[in-house]
Amino acid sequence: MNMSAEKPEVIKEASMLKQKEMITRNYDDLTSARETGRKVSSTYVPGNLNELLMCFGILNNLPEINAIQNGMRKQSGAMIMDAEKSGHSEDVCTYVKADIGHMARGSIAPNGKSMPVPDLLLLNYTGCFTFLKWFELLRDEYGCRTQMLHVPYEGDGKITTNMRDYVVRQLKEEVIPTLEEVSGVKFDIDRLRENLRLSAKAEDDFVWVLESAKNKPSPIDAYFGGVYYVGPIFTAFRGTEDAVEYYKLLRSEIEQRIADGKGPITPEGEMGEEKYRLVVEGPPNWTSFREFWKMFYDEGAVVVSSTYTKVGGVYDFDGFRHDPDHPLESLADYCLGCYTNRNLPTRVDMVEKAMHDYQADGFLVNSIKSCNSFAAGELMMMREIETRTGKPAAFIETDLVDPRYFSPANVKNRLESYFQMIDQKRQSGRAA
Ligand code: SF4
């Protein structure tokens, strides 16, 4: 029963509790690494090599995820101010500044303990130049070993044999030897195959979950809810039995919602009537996540597909799955194909396909002030999608983890006028 007059109690399904337990355990493993003797690598979300790290027993610490956690717990604002005071410009990606400020305050994890200094910075460079600069800063601070995996940009919209070979060669000649040295464990390709087999299993259920939004009403929200659904697959759990179980559980819950004709669960409770089906581009705002989601909930707007659920790796556009029969090649393809590494024409094609496949009423861009990698070209994307689909598009601007750039009144106004625009378009469509 909800005893609060202000906010309803959040419904917790079994899959949510399972994911919470996985995250807690992972932070406990990270913060006790010095006592247990386990090695720690910091690495990025897009195109990460979790299955490979696991072959060496190395723990995977993802600075973007730490920034998101601090954003959702409303602690990132002060960390960003600290970083700015120490000379980092206002224009720098706020994940970076939140991370720098977090470090200056002792790198405290959500369990209240300090994160260890990483043994390795594994720089999986997948399309965003900030990744390079960010790890340069961390290397200066920690003085620890750095290993780069250079992933060529998909400038022509496809992966060539040369590109794949180039990544595989780096994996064999540079990345794996470094991981062997740091961990003292010899590489075993059969262990990698087994991890990849588990990845592919979880990925099948994950894609099923995303595609469940083709139902009307959609049983999921593929943006706000989507950020929870991508959690295990994009972070430290891909390639584990835990991730396989999580997605199996999630799938069974969603199957039940479809059978019951229900919409998504939101923090405000069950979604009522589905009035608008949207495709959304760009990451969400984390510091006012619940308030932002409520603006959609209040209007009956459900996000049926989002590009954010492709940011770590793309599974639902061209059918990629990790492949135990081609282990290193499939790691290379995963890195090459992640959303940050795709060119603008491919991103437009992805959105256009989603607009058709998910029968969306409109396209919304949430442009992130401090993320130049994503934001560049988004206005062009918006116009192109309007032209190709004839559906109305809209543009709002927020930030990732800097609370100064979330203006609730502006965002709400923009969204309300956008929903009116969709209504008018529908009426004129009926009148024609
Ligand atoms: S992709 Fe955007 S949010 Fe991520 S590191 Fe690059 S600039 Fe920052």
| pLDDT per residue as tens digits for the range 96-113 | 999 999 999 999 999 999
What would the pLDDT profile of 214-273 be if each residue is shown by its tens digit? 999 999 999 999 999 999 999 999 999 999 999 999 999 999 999 999 999 999 999 999
Name the residue at shortest CA distance from atom 7 of ligand 1.
371
Section 161-176 average pLDDT: 98
In the predicted structure, residue 8 carries a pLDDT above the cut 90: no
Q: Which of 42, 93, 402 to mutate to test the pocket of ligand 1 (most atoms within 8 A of CB)?
A: 93
In the predicted structure, residue 120 carries a pLDDT above the cut 80: yes
Q: State the distance from the centre of ligand 1 to the C-alpha of 75, rounded, in angstroms.
A: 19
Q: State the distance from the centre of ligand 1 to the C-alpha of 129, rounded, in angstroms.
A: 8
Cβ–Cβ under 8 Å, residues 418 and 364 = yes
- pLDDT at position 2: 37
What would the pLDDT profile of 356-414 be if each residue is shown by its tens digit? 999 999 999 999 998 987 888 999 999 999 999 999 999 999 999 999 999 999 999 99
- pLDDT at position 372: 83
pTM assigned to the model: 0.95
Q: State the distance from the centre of ligand 1 to the C-alpha of 92, rounded, in angstroms.
A: 9
In the predicted structure, residue 78 carries a pLDDT above the cut 90: yes
Please state the atom number of ligand 1 nearest to the C-alpha of residue 370. Answer: 7
Q: State the distance from the centre of ligand 1 to the C-alpha of 405, rounded, in angstroms.
A: 16
